[in-house]
Amino acid sequence: MKRIVMAAAGLATSFALPALAEDIKVGLMLPYSGTYASLGNDIEAGFRLGLDTYGADTGVTFDILTEDTEAKPPVALGKAKKLILQDRVDVLSGIVSSGVLGAMRDLIHGSEVPLIVANAGNDEATGEACSPWITRLSFSNGQVNRPMGTWLHEQGVGKVYTLAPDYAAGRQMIDAFTASFTDAGGEIVGQQFTPFGKTQDFGPYLAKAQASGADAVYVFYAGGEAISFVKQYDSFGLKADLPLYGAGFLTSPLYVNAEGPAAEGVIAALHYVPTIENDANAAFTTAFMAETGRLPSEYSVQGYDAARALVEAVKSGATDRASLGAALRKVSFDGPRGKLSIDPVTNNLIQPIYVYETVAGDDGLTQKVLATLPASADPANGCELAPVSN
Ligand code: BEZ
C-alpha cells in the first residue's frame, strides 16, 4: 500500500506528492492463550527483533496486527479471514499448531496471500498440500524427527515406546521417527497418542510405557504439555531405567528451567539451540538477551528469521501480496541456525538438525550439542511448485 503524503494540511489537495515510503501490513497469527501461549509470545519477540535489526534501513513501515489463534483451527480460520478480507494485510506470519496450518491452507492458497510459517511443522503444507503462497522459515515435522530415528538406532537403542499429543503434529512427528527407526532395524514396541491440550495426568500412559519392555521412550510434547510431561516422567521414576528422547521442543530453552532437574539428561533433536557457535548466533543471542533478559529459543529464532525473510523480500523490491509471495521463495541467508535456503520444490526450509542433551550449566540448564545431522531437503510428497523466476 502506498503512503501518500499530502503537500500541506489545509491546502486544496487535489494532487499528491509521490509516495515516500511503503507500508507493509503484517498479520501475526499466534497463540497468546492456551498450552502454546509462551511459544506465541516468544515468536513475536523474535519477529519484532528481526524487523528492528534488519528492517530499520528500508524506509518501510511494518504495521503489525496480532491475532490470538490459540491452538484451535476454527478460531484461527475466523481470525485469518478477518486479517485477509477486512484488514487487507499484505502478508501473514506466525502459526504454531500444525492443526491450525492444515485448516488455513485452502484459505491462504485461494486468497493468494503470502504466509511465512514461523513454527507449525505440518508436513502436508510443504508436501502434498503445498502452495506457492506458503513459505516455511521454521521446520517440518518430518525434518526434525526423521534423522533422530537413524541416529538413535546407531546409538544402540533397539526397542522404543512412543508418546505424543493426538493431533497432526504428534502423529506426523512420531510417523517420521518410526519410519527411519524401523528402517534402521529398530522396533517400536508400543505407541499412544494423548488427548491434545487436555491431558493433565500422564501416569496411565507412563505405566504402559514402563511395562512395554522398551529400551527407551521417544516423544513429542511442547509448551505447557512438555513441562507437565517431563516433570511427571521424572517423578514416576522412569528416567534412570528408560531414557527419555524426543523432538527437541520437549526441553526447549524457552521452558526448560520450568522443568528443572527433571529435564537433565534428556536427549532430543532440533533445528536450533542457543549454544550453536557462529557469528550470526552470537549477535542474535546478545541482542535477544538485551531485549528480554533471557536466551532465545527455537521459537524466537523462527520469528527472527521470518521477519528477516520479509525484510529481504521487501529489499528486493516486493511491495504487495503477489510480489512478496514470489520474493519470499527466493530468500536465503546465513542466520543464527547456519545457512538457510528455501527448497524451490516445496517451499520448506533446508537446514541442519542438532542432537542435544540438556545438562546443568553455570546459569541453569543448557544445551550440549552431541551431533550435527546434515541438512537435507524433505521428500516432495507430490509437491511440485513451479520454479521461481529471477
Ligand atoms: C506443531 O503443531 O506443528 C508444533 C507445535 C509446537 C511445537 C512444534 C510443533
Is any atom of ligand 1 closer than 6 Å to the C-beta of 37? no
pLDDT at 56 over 70: yes
3-state secondary structure of 372: strand
pLDDT at 90 over 80: yes
Residue 138, phi-psi category: left (phi > 0), alpha (psi -120 to 50), beta (remainder): alpha
Beta bridge partners of 355: 269, 371
Is any atom of ligand 1 closer than 6 Å to the C-beta of 121? yes
Q: To the nearest whole percent, how much of the chain has pLDDT over 90? A: 91
Pocket test for ligand 1, best of 97, 134, 173, 174 (most atoms within 8 A of CB): 97
The sign of the torsion formed by the CA atoms of 106, 107, 110, 115 equals: negative
Which of 182, 163, 152 is closest to 269 using CA atoms?
152
Asked which of 111-115, 178-182, 360-364 is least confident by mean pLDDT, the reply is 360-364
pLDDT at 16 (0 to 100): 33
Q: Tell how far the Cα of 12 is from the centroid of ligand 1, in angstroms.
A: 54
Which of 107, 157, 159 is closest to 133 using CA atoms?
107
Q: What is the mean pLDDT of residues 54-73?
A: 96
Whose Cα sits closest to atom 7 in ligand 1? 222
Tell me which amino acid residue 11 is. Answer: L
What is the band of 165 on the pLDDT scale with cuts at 50, 70, 90? very high
Average pLDDT of every residue of the chain: 93
Supply angle C-alpha 182, 175, 69, rounded to 5.
160
pLDDT at 390 (0 to 100): 66
Q: Tell how far the Cα of 139 is from the centroid of ligand 1, in angstroms.
A: 10
- Domain 24-139+276-351 shares a fold with domain 142-270: yes
Q: Which atom of ligand 1 is nearest to the CA of 299?
A: 7
Tell me the helices (H) and strands (E) count for the chain, helix number first: 11, 16
Helices 73-81, 98-111: inter-axial angle, 10-degree rounding? 30
Tell me the per-residue pLDDT of 117-135, one tens digit each, with 9 for 90 and over: 999 999 999 999 999 999 9
Other beta carbons within 10 Å of 122: 26
Other beta carbons within 10 Å of 105: 19
Beta bridge partners of 360: 365
Structural domain boundaries of the chain? Answer: 24-139+276-351, 142-270
Q: Which atom of ligand 1 is nearest to the CA of 121?
A: 3
What is the band of 388 on the pLDDT scale with cuts at 50, 70, 90? confident
pLDDT at 312 over 70: yes
Asked which of 62-66, 111-115, 247-251, 338-342 is least confident by mean pLDDT, the reply is 338-342
pLDDT at 75 over 70: yes
Q: Which atom of ligand 1 is nearest to the CA of 167?
A: 2
Q: What is the mean pLDDT of residues 151-171?
A: 98
pLDDT at 375 (0 to 100): 85
pLDDT at 11 over 60: no
4 Cα distance to chain centroid:
36
Look at the block and give the residue holding cell 502454546: 36
Which of 324, 343, 342, 346 is closest to 333 using CA atoms?
342
Which cell goes with 242?
Answer: 528408560
Q: Which architecture characterizes domain 24-139+276-351 according to CATH? A: 3-Layer(aba) Sandwich (3.40)
In this structure, the chain runs to a length of 390
Instruction: State how far the Cα of 153 lies from the Cα of 89, in Å rounded to an integer.
Output: 47
pLDDT at 362 over 80: yes
CA atoms within 13 A on the CB side of 329: 23
CB 95 within 8 A of CB 117: yes
Which cell goes with 19?
Answer: 509516495
Alpha-carbon Rg for the chain in angstroms:
21
Q: Tell how far the Cα of 286 is from the centroid of ligand 1, in angstroms.
A: 26
CATH number for the 142-270 domain, one of 3.40.718.10, 2.40.30.10, 2.60.40.10, 3.40.50.2300?
A: 3.40.50.2300
Query: Please, what is the end-to-end C-alpha distance for the chain in angstroms?
Result: 24
Pocket test for ligand 1, best of 29, 35, 42, 96 (most atoms within 8 A of CB): 96
Tell me the per-residue pLDDT of 210-260, one tens digit each, with 9 for 90 and over: 999 999 999 999 999 999 999 999 999 999 999 999 999 999 999 999 999
pLDDT at 7 (0 to 100): 29
Instruction: State how far the Cα of 181 lies from the Cα of 172, in Å rounded to an integer.
Output: 14
Q: Which atom of ligand 1 is nearest to the CA of 39?
A: 6
Q: Which atom of ligand 1 is nearest to the CA of 97?
A: 2
Instruction: State how far the Cα of 41 lies from the Cα of 168, in Å rounded to an integer.
Output: 22
Is any atom of ligand 1 closer than 6 Å to the C-beta of 140? no
Look at the block and give the residue holding cell 520444490: 345
pLDDT at 15 over 70: no
Is any atom of ligand 1 closer than 6 Å to the C-beta of 104? no
